[in-house]
Structure 1
Amino acid sequence: MMNIVAITGRITKDLELKQAGQTQVTNFSMAVENPYKKDDASFFDIVAFGKTAELLNQYCGKGSKIGVDGTLKQDRFTDKEGNNRSVVRITANRIEFLDTKTQTNKQNQAEKPNKENPFANDNEDISNSDLPF
């Protein structure tokens, strides 16, 4: 039998790295847009362990675009009121960083002009006589 999930989307909230025994773990939610319907997204709960969780927390944050390969896992439990509950999560086996915290922060601050642009050319265009070759 196969249990394979592959999704691409954006992290919906700030990440929190926790310690579970000897292993690091992070739980997060991801929004995945529907490519066929505007303003429609699905939200998935994801858990990552070990080095994957550590790197995710180091390089990504709320709004970061990532790709996740993993498996579905259903956890069944009884709540405080005695009701049977079920939660389906994706356990991440591999995460691909499609942008970083820095890129996400730049996107969020896009309306603020960049004061120092090393590539800005406030002068006129360069003429052929200015070139050394």
Structure 2
Amino acid sequence: MTTGQHDPNTEGPTPNGEDLPALLLRLLAETGREQKELATQTGINYSRLNSWLTRTRGTSRIKMDDLRLLADALRGWGADVTPRQMVEASGRPVPGPAVEERERKLLDIYRSLPVQGQRALIQHAELLRGTMGSGK
């Protein structure tokens, strides 16, 4: 899985049963890199990174920015990994799309419809609001 052709926007699942230390160690081996290189590349303290890899420190509280830095560095070396896989492997809940993204998507759909479809979408949304509450 060491291809530079990976689309970082395509978020695939973490291999079954692979926690963050296992994922990182596998990707380091695949890219021929070492822990110290990864620490230097990401700016993450080597002893902290090493404690994650040796499982002497838990990974569920790693900052999201650090997980993204790890994924970016490994991808830069040709690894097939996404930030989402890093988050999943760390045992943290994967964040869903932001409110703005959902609103943009809905607006894009609305704008792509003919007037009759726009009216139907509004009617459907009003029905949903009535059955699901105001959401506030």
TM-score, structure 2 normalization: 0.26
TM-score of the superposition, structure 1-length normalised? 0.26
- By relative contact order (CA 8 Å, sep 6+), the higher-ranking structure is 2
Q: In proportion to residue count, which structure has more helix?
A: 2
Question: Which structure has the larger Rg over C-alpha atoms?
Answer: 1
